Amino acid sequence: MMKVIVNVFLKAGVLDSQGKAVHHALESLHFDNVSDVRVGKQIVLKLDESDEVKAMADVTKMCEELLANTVIEDYNIELVK
């Protein structure tokens, strides 16, 4: 059993409307020291897999095929155990 955390977030140049909305809402609540907000997804997977190399390859394939839209999103993968 292995826990894998995938973070998916919009590429730097892409407008993050959800982030802008959160930023605006924080300002409305008088949090004035926020200069930027980006909102992404965090996907936590549990894999029946003991081979870390195989797990990394599988999860990379999952990201490319389903979890991330690689045209506008980047992702990073973190093996927890």
Asked whether position 42 contacts a copy of itself by CB under 8 A, the answer is yes
| 38 class by beta-carbon count within 10 Å (0-12 exposed, 13-18 middle, 19+ buried) | middle
Asked whether position 66 contacts a copy of itself by CB under 8 A, the answer is yes
CB 20 within 8 A of CB 38: no
- Candidate residues 31, 57, 69, 78; the one interacting with a copy of itself per rule CB under 8 A: 31
Asked whether position 29 contacts a copy of itself by CB under 8 A, the answer is yes
Other residues' Cβ atoms within 10 Å of the Cβ of residue 78: 12
Which residues sit at the interface with a copy of itself, rule CB under 8 A?
Answer: 1, 7, 9, 19, 22, 25-26, 29, 31, 33-49, 58, 61-62, 65-67
